[in-house]
Structure 1
Amino acid sequence: MPYLNLWSMMTRYKGTEQNPDVVLIGAGIMSATLGVLLKELQPDLTIEIYERLDVVAAESTDAWNNAGTGHSAFCELNYTPERPDGSIDISKAIKIADSFEVSRQFWAYLVQQGYVASPHSFINTIPHLSFVWGPENVEFLRKRHEALTQNPLFEGMTFTTDKTQLQEWIPLMMAGRDTSEQLAATCMKLGTDVNFGCLTRNLFDRLQKMEGVTLHLNHEVRKLRQQPDASWQVKVKDITTGDKRKIKARFVFIGAGGGSLPLLLKTGIPEGKGFGGFPVSGQWLVCQNPAVIDQHNAKVYGKASVGSPPMSVPHLDTRIISGKKALLFGPYAGFSTKFLKRGSFMDLPLSIKINNIKPMIEAGLDNLQLTKYLIDQVRQSTDERMDALRAFVPDALEADWKLETAGQRVQIIKQDPEEGGILEFGTEVVSSADGTVSALLGASPGASTAVSIMLGLLKRCFAEQYSSAAWQEKLKQMIPSFGQSLADDAQLCNEIRAYTSEVLGLEYYKMEKQ
């Protein structure tokens, strides 16, 4: 069987705690999303979730660790690179924006079903802006705006070079700025801020109340071994007591953030060979002055410096965390051999295997500029960090900002037939040919497109059930546009956005071409 046969599996393993139908490793947004999807599609499934920490959503999913809280490609300039001929490639932006609308629909369904008491606990309207300075960057942003607004997903995006308009949109960033400087910005009013930590905690609270679902905190998965019958033996250690046990499952999802790569390598599946990881740490400057925080209400992304990697895109970011408005600037990158914020310094060395050492060396040699960038970031002084902030907030005072540690990212290194090994900045799902195990690797846009990513996983690993009439009907109930692209239908795009905005309590602006 090339794919998991869920029906026969259920009769064989149903009701045995040691042998659940599904094992989810990691208690972040990805496992939460997959767990809810599976229980909605097949309520009698048994699921066990294993998390090495004592709480859920404490690593990359946490609002203070997550570099992006609502990636919808409205303002992230690294999603729209300029081609050698000067034209703008908007294909990635369209894909991400379309995927984010899928997430919004699923979240609206969750609110309607009572998974979340108040949508404002995790999602709020925050305008998304791109902001640049200098003639070349202004022209880039103008071309980007022209290209994006041809698509329904970006209709309504406003472009301006008018300083009065900029003063209205971003007063904190305009105060003290050189008026002779060439400036430009685009604005999407229907942008949002998403607290994935809060959303994830809500989903796990509900999952734990469902029959057949068990969440194990302080439990670390040590080994994974496939059995002759294609099931997986999972060896788990209770970190608190030291007890060890083995369980058996027909499907395993590895959604452990930076910890996914070592576990994928332990599966020994051919599809995982050659993968490596390059860990990157992060830091934020967090505003401590409420008066300053109140002056800014937007997510504003700039353009990375020439030669800098995509992860370095600077942004001044309004977020709603624990019901309070926060203001962050960054990210400032750094290097650590840990794959998780609460990981081990041995994570990187222990991930190096015979089958991935060549791709990792090749990728390292091809990305010496990235290495130099990270070294420079680590060596940055407080004055240098403040200089970067003042490019966005000219009047920023050092006393108003505090440096805080963000999360760890593990960028994907994979084999390439031509270059030997390449470093990728994105998210990738690696699944076995028989569909019995799957792992999520990478970083941005990650959480914002979690629903689309998990739907793709279900299509690959639960192919028979996915194509069934029952699952198709349920998927359309959860995601009204299921099977259709909002990028190709302006009327449907407006209808869906109006619906999700109403359910999620968001401001809605009917999008029309500018």
Structure 2
Amino acid sequence: MSDRQTKTDVILIGAGIMSATLGALLKELVPEWNIKVFEKLAKPGEESSNEWNNAGTGHAALCELNYTNEKPDGSIDISKAIKINEQFQVSKQFWSYLVNRKLITNPQEFIKALPHMSLVQGESNVTFLKKRFEALSNNPLFQGMEYSDNPEKLEEWIPLIMNGRTSKDPIAATKIDSGTDVNFGALTRMLFDHLKNNKVEVHYKHSVKDIKRTSDGSWEVKVLDMDSGKMEHHTSKFVFIGGGGGSLPLLQKTGIPESKHIGGFPVSGLFMVCKNPKVIEQHHAKVYGKAKVGAPPMSVPHLDTRFINGKKALLFGPFAGFSPKFLKTGSNLDLIRSVKPNNILTMLAAGVKEMALTKYLIQQVLLSNEKRMEELREFIPNAKLEDWEIVVAGQRVQVIKDTEAGKGTLQFGTEVVSATDGSVAALLGASPGASTAVHVMLEVLEKCFPQHIKEWEPKIKEMIPSFGVSLSGNPDLFKDIDKSTSQTLGLSKKEPVNS
């Protein structure tokens, strides 16, 4: 046992996209601050940020139908879609800034232009999609979106999906070419290379065991060096907990009032991955359908072109499942250990309210390969079992908390929980997650460093020109920013900026 004690300005727990983003922002705003990162795995971006553990969609509400709800009067509420899109624009601006400054290079290794499409069947769904298209296409953020219910046009757009389709049900799709495929694993690794080059101490195979307040208001983080077996004690004025599903147990260890009455519900996922290059080449888009009745939002079926390890891939899913682990590399006791006296009623209330979700997850766990193929064939009528294999995706922990909607409400978004004094913050939840990492980390900065925001604002605006401005309400600014970021990131016809 070591009594090694060190002091630092900032401690980041977890080497995923969130810590990478927060570290990169802080290095631009206050380069003199000392930052330490602790990650229990051997490399960065190995859990939720890894390219095989998420859908790789640059979530901008271009194709995800769950971000546009139909109101009782039949109109379409696009407010959430606008919000998500603007948040993704913030990410693109920061990534462009890093590329332009040559702090990261070769953006085509983590982001590629790829059409985003929504696909529906059945008269009521087609009516909904047309209304959604009309509502979105009037907004500058969604200009360029096309709609078609003509089977011949759809065959041009999605030949793999239309080939062999015999159903007489009406079918329709929207398509927008400004969508993206994002390899968040590659981006995370790039950002950590950048941080290490800028004197950020990154400690892999270091597992955080406890977080306690010290008498002077700092935080002492107890860390196990997994190679040596020695325990270390690091103190810091500010701690960010960005451990994916592992964030909730660490937040609970802080004991801050904001950590009370919060629970977590773990959901695992599977993707079907195509092994046949001839099939892969027939599809070039991310195509999102509608979730089945009773299915959670993160289980919307989609057929995705992906770019992984420099190769084009084709994935279908996700299929939801249940595991008591909070991380893929976690423990089967994670869920039980997260139940505390202060959140047990919240958890029980959620259990009663979410019986339909529990039933759905049990059904998903029990799906045979042939049943999964039936779901795939709703997208690809001619799909063959021998062309596909199963890959286990990431583990997600959905937040359960008491809200105005009642006790034990299951949340499907991403949220920041921070202490009143801003000395500690944790990121909980999942989708849209990584796509909005820059927006969420700016939220962390605003919550935790309000005394610095005014002095930081000029630099923030240099990195993110739209900071504090609604792009939806400023079409000319959006046009300029979109043109600039697309060119820098290689999403337009001009070549990206390289080293």
| TM score, norm. by length of structure 2 | 0.97
Alpha-carbon shift at residue 89 of structure 1 (Å): 1.7
Change (3 A) 1:189 1:308: same
CA contact (8 A) 1:286 1:401 kept: yes
CA contact (8 A) 2:306 2:312 kept: yes
Change (3 A) 1:418 1:131: closer
Bigger Cα displacement from structure 2, 482-491 vs 443-452: 482-491
Give me the whole-angstrom Cα distance separating, in 2, the residues matched to 1:202 and 1:463.
29
Note the alpha carbon deviations across 1:90-129, whole angstroms, 9 max, x for none. 1111100000001001000111122322010000000000
Match of 2:157 in 1: 169
CA contact (8 A) 1:68 1:445 kept: no
Match of 1:287 in 2: 274
The reply on whether 1:243 has 2:230 as its aligned counterpart is: yes
Match of 1:344 in 2: 331
Q: Secondary structure at the match of 2:232?
A: strand
Q: Secondary structure at the match of 2:211?
A: strand
CA contact (8 A) 1:103 1:450 kept: yes
Note the alpha carbon deviations across 1:467-511, whole angstroms, 9 max, x for none. 11xx111111111222211111111111111000110111279xx
Give me the whole-angstrom Cα distance separating, in 1, the residues matched to 2:104 and 2:435.
17
Alpha-carbon shift at residue 421 of structure 1 (Å): 1.2
The reply on whether 1:41 has 2:5 as its aligned counterpart is: no
Match of 1:178 in 2: 166
Match of 2:105 in 1: 117
Give me the whole-angstrom Cα distance separating, in 1, the residues matched to 2:249 and 2:74.
41
**Which consecutive unaligned segments of at least 5 residues does structure 1 have?**
1-15, 510-514
Give me the whole-angstrom Cα distance separating, in 2, the residues matched to 1:136 and 1:272.
43
Note the alpha carbon deviations across 1:293-324, whole angstroms, 9 max, x for none. 01100000000112222121000011111111
Change (3 A) 1:361 1:148: same
Superposition map of 1:62-461 within 5 A: 62-178=50-166, 180-211=168-199, 213-416=200-403, 419-461=406-448
CA contact (8 A) 2:56 2:184 kept: no
**Which consecutive unaligned segments of at least 5 residues does structure 2 have?**
495-499
Q: Secondary structure at the match of 1:486?
A: coil
Match of 1:12 in 2: none
Note the alpha carbon deviations across 1:10-49, whole angstroms, 9 max, x for none. xxxxxx9811100000000000000000010001010000
Give me the whole-angstrom Cα distance separating, in 1, the residues matched to 2:409 and 2:55.
23
Give me the whole-angstrom Cα distance separating, in 1, the residues matched to 2:202 and 2:159.
46
Give me the whole-angstrom Cα distance separating, in 1, the residues matched to 2:69 and 2:186.
32
Match of 1:8 in 2: none
Runs of 4 or more off by more than 6 Å in structure 1? none
CA contact (8 A) 2:280 2:314 kept: yes
Match of 2:497 in 1: none
CA contact (8 A) 1:337 1:348 kept: yes
Q: Secondary structure at the match of 2:393?
A: strand
Q: Secondary structure at the match of 2:382?
A: coil
Bigger Cα displacement from structure 2, 404-413 vs 79-88: 79-88
Note the alpha carbon deviations across 1:255-303, whole angstroms, 9 max, x for none. 0000000000000000110010000000000000011001100000000
CA contact (8 A) 1:329 1:389 kept: yes
Residue type of the alignment partner of 1:131: L
Q: Secondary structure at the match of 2:304?
A: strand
Alpha-carbon shift at residue 68 of structure 1 (Å): 4.4
CA contact (8 A) 2:400 2:408 kept: yes
CA contact (8 A) 2:349 2:408 kept: yes
Give me the whole-angstrom Cα distance separating, in 2, the residues matched to 1:374 and 1:20.
43
Give me the whole-angstrom Cα distance separating, in 2, the residues matched to 1:418 and 1:59.
32
* RMSD (Å) for aligned C-alpha atoms: 1.3
Give me the whole-angstrom Cα distance separating, in 2, the residues matched to 1:344 and 1:429.
24
Note the alpha carbon deviations across 1:167-201, whole angstroms, 9 max, x for none. 11111101001263311000111101000100010
Give me the whole-angstrom Cα distance separating, in 1, the residues matched to 2:335 and 2:72.
36
CA contact (8 A) 1:68 1:444 kept: no
Give me the whole-angstrom Cα distance separating, in 2, the residues matched to 1:33 and 1:23.
13
Q: Secondary structure at the match of 1:423?
A: strand
Bigger Cα displacement from structure 2, 290-299 vs 106-115: 106-115
Residue type of the alignment partner of 2:235: K
The reply on whether 1:482 has 2:467 as its aligned counterpart is: yes
Bigger Cα displacement from structure 2, 427-436 vs 476-485: 476-485
Give me the whole-angstrom Cα distance separating, in 2, the residues matched to 1:17 and 1:467.
33
Match of 1:496 in 2: 481
Give me the whole-angstrom Cα distance separating, in 2, the residues matched to 1:442 and 1:490.
31
CA contact (8 A) 1:109 1:478 kept: yes
Residue type of the alignment partner of 2:257: P
Give me the whole-angstrom Cα distance separating, in 2, the residues matched to 1:306 and 1:420.
23
Match of 1:5 in 2: none
Give me the whole-angstrom Cα distance separating, in 2, the residues matched to 1:396 and 1:290.
13
Give me the whole-angstrom Cα distance separating, in 1, the residues matched to 2:19 and 2:325.
21
Bigger Cα displacement from structure 2, 126-135 vs 64-73: 64-73
Alpha-carbon shift at residue 423 of structure 1 (Å): 0.3
Identity of aligned residues (%): 58
Residue type of the alignment partner of 2:234: I
